[in-house]
């Protein structure tokens, strides 16, 4: 049978090679995976033109995936540095990379990125439209936006953030919400400005069916952007956020009717006590579609440490149903992240994702923790370093102040609890001199 997308294949009972690969990675039966894809609860973003891709599943019952944002800006337009970030992200095993470049002709870098990356590639076509088309925002026509979407699809982009939910109805709710931070989504603010300046409806909403036809042709997953996500904990769960979420639920069903896979994006900034309810609400309003969250950042007062505020929120969100975490770096709100910022963001987000997988009982999630614990019991440093998320840093810490006895570290020395207990259980005498 012929099929265009992973969802269409699943609905027809076809098991694709991508489904088989993902099922093996996730310790799940391929038949169960196919059924989850057919009903939209799992997506495998896999553009037919992304030949280097190692496919991953995002959604119910699967490991929490993480995404790394990168790309140039007008103030930092060095693509070599961005490719260094890409290579490091791949080395750390991230599942997705989003190119958020918003300056100049970005397609050369994007093509190199797609050719190189085994991770999924995402973009926000709205960002690229101004540089790609070389037009002022007000002069861009609806057909121009669609042309950028198709260009990205042809290049091999696996998923695209499309801000289709910020329509006239959602804007009315936003205007009445009296926010502290208004619209903090870059793409959302540009769409809002375009709508206000031209007097037109959101082109991504008005021409949604045309967009779906483009995405279906190349099997691009639509990531429904949350243009009205809260940019401060004061603004979370307000009318603007929820009204847009309702729109995104309706857009989800329309995409599924066209066999286009969907992810739904979520907050943003949010106090800890609101996170669980928001995850439940999203899944309910969007019919169980995979949920992709930025953070949530749980306090607004930690610039320079927002990889930590985000990891706290991300762990809670994923343990309550979020499926995909977008990393946040220490540079969030401050600058374009450098290589070290990207590393810190990746590590913090991987910790959050893995902690959530343990909490929600993802198959085999605890296995590596049990191996690490066993290596600690045996005081096998090399094995510990090999199992660590960042083994290089762990080794550097250990070796920076070497212990006199390699059966301990420099903190406890010969009073190491593992060493003491091992000796007693082995029938040996514990001595400190």
pLDDT tens string 209-240: 999 999 999 999 999 999 999 999 999 999 99
User: Domain check: are 124 and 249 in the same one?
Assistant: yes
Is 307 labelled a binding residue? no
pLDDT of residue 75: 67
CA distances from 85 to 166, 235, 405 (A): 32, 32, 38
pLDDT of residue 1: 62
Is 50 labelled a binding residue? no
Residue 51, in any domain of the structure: no
> Which letter, b or e, does each residue of 192-224 get, where b requires 16 or more Cβ atoms within 10 Å of its Cβ?
bebbeeeeeebbbbebbebbbebbbebbbbbbb
Is 265 labelled a binding residue? yes
Is 186 labelled a binding residue? yes
Relative to beta strand 42-43, strand 58-59 is antiparallel
Is 409 labelled a binding residue? yes
pLDDT tens string 97-153: 999 887 666 888 899 999 999 999 999 999 888 777 778 899 999 999 999 999 999
Residue 186, in any domain of the structure: yes
User: Which positions ≥6 away from 182 have C-beta within 8 Å?
Assistant: 231
User: Domain check: are 353 and 250 in the same one?
Assistant: yes
Residue 29, in any domain of the structure: no
User: Domain check: are 101 and 242 in the same one?
Assistant: yes
pLDDT of residue 106: 81
Is 322 labelled a binding residue? no
The percent of residues above 90 in pLDDT, for the chain, comes to 88
User: Domain check: are 271 and 289 in the same one?
Assistant: yes
Residue found under tokens 């090399």: 382
Residue 180, in any domain of the structure: yes
pLDDT of residue 338: 94
The 8-class DSSP code of residue 201 comes to P
Is 79 labelled a binding residue? no
Residue 45, in any domain of the structure: no
Residue 183, in any domain of the structure: yes
Q: Give the relative orientation of helices 79-91 and 339-359 as an angle to the nearest 10 degrees.
A: 30
- Of 331, 359, 387, the residue that ends a domain is 359
Give this prediction's pTM. Answer: 0.95
**Looking at residues 294-321, what average pLDDT do you find?**
98
User: Domain check: are 405 and 351 in the same one?
Assistant: no
Is 99 labelled a binding residue? no
Is 163 labelled a binding residue? yes
List the domain range (segments joined by +) for residue 124.
Answer: 61-359
Residue 324, in any domain of the structure: yes
Tokens at residue 38, please?
């057919």
User: Domain check: are 195 and 281 in the same one?
Assistant: yes
User: Domain check: are 282 and 414 in the same one?
Assistant: no
Is 292 labelled a binding residue? yes
Q: What is the CA radius of gyration of the chain?
A: 23
- Here the CATH number for the domain that contains residue 270 is 3.20.20.540
CA angle 166, 222, 149 (to 5 degrees): 85
pLDDT tens string 69-92: 998 776 666 888 999 999 999 999
Residue 23, in any domain of the structure: no
User: Domain check: are 240 and 145 in the same one?
Assistant: yes
pLDDT of residue 74: 63
pLDDT of residue 104: 65
User: By three-state DSSP, how is residue 430 classified?
Assistant: coil
pLDDT of residue 405: 81
The percent of residues above 70 in pLDDT, for the chain, comes to 98
Tokens at residue 111, please?
């093509």
**Looking at residues 285-298, what average pLDDT do you find?**
97
| Number of independent structural domains in the chain | 2
Is 187 labelled a binding residue? yes
User: Which three-class secondary structure string do you get for 214-235?
Assistant: HHHHHCCEEEECCCCCCCCHHH
Q: Count the residues in the chain.
A: 433
- Of 312, 339, 359, the residue that ends a domain is 359
Is 433 labelled a binding residue? no
pLDDT for 431 beyond 90: no
- Of 359, 378, 413, the residue that ends a domain is 359
Is 311 labelled a binding residue? no
pLDDT for 418 beyond 90: yes
CA 104 to centroid of chain Cα atoms: 25
User: Domain check: are 126 and 150 in the same one?
Assistant: yes
């Amino acid at each position: 049978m012929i099929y265009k997308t992973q969802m269409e294949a699943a609905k027809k009972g076809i098991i694709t090679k991508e489904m088989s690969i993902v099922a093996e990675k996730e310790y799940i039966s391929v038949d169960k995976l196919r059924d989850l894809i057919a009903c939209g609860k799992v997506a495998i973003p896999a553009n037919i033109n992304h030949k280097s891709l190692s496919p991953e599943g995002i959604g119910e019952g699967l490991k929490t995936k993480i995404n790394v944002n990168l790309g140039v800006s007008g103030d930092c337009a060095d693509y070599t540095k961005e490719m260094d970030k890409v290579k490091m992200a791949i080395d750390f095993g991230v599942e997705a990379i989003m190119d958020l470049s918003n300056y100049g002709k970005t397609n050369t870098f994007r093509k190199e990125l797609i050719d190189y990356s085994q991770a999924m590639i995402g973009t926000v076509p709205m960002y690229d439209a101004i540089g790609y088309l070389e037009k002022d925002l007000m002069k861009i026509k609806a057909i121009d936006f669609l042309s950028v979407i198709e260009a990205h699809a042809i290049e091999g982009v696996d998923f695209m953030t499309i801000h289709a939910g910020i329509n006239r109805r959602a804007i009315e709710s936003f205007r009445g919400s009296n926010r502290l931070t208004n619209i903090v989504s870059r793409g959302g603010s540009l769409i809002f400005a375009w709508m206000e300046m031209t007097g037109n409806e959101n082109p991504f909403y008005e021409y949604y069916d045309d967009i779906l036809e483009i995405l279906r042709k190349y099997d691009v997953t639509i990531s429904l952007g949350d243009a009205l996500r809260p940019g401060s904990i004061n603004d979370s769960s307000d009318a603007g956020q929820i009204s847009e979420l309702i729109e995104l639920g309706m857009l989800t069903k329309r995409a599924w009717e066209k066999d286009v896979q969907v992810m739904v994006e979520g907050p943003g900034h949010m106090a800890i006590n609101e996170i669980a309810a928001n995850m439940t609400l999203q899944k309910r309003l969007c019919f169980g579609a995979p949920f992709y969250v930025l953070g949530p950042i749980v306090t607004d007062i930690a610039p320079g440490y927002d990889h930590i505020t985000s990891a706290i929120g991300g762990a809670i969100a994923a343990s309550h149903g979020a499926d995909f975490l977008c990393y946040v770096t220490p540079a969030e709100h401050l600058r374009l992240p450098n290589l070290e910022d990207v590393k810190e963001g990746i590590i913090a987000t991987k910790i959050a994702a893995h902690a959530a997988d343990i909490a929600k009982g993802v198959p085999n999630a605890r296995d590596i923790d049990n191996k690490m614990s066993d290596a600690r019991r045996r005081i096998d440093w090399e094995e510990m370093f090999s199992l660590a998320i960042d083994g290089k840093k762990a080794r550097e810490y250990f070796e920076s102040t070497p212990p006199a006895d390699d059966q301990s570290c420099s903190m406890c020395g010969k009073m190491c609890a593992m060493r003491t207990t091992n000796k007693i259980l082995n029938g040996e005498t514990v001595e400190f001199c």
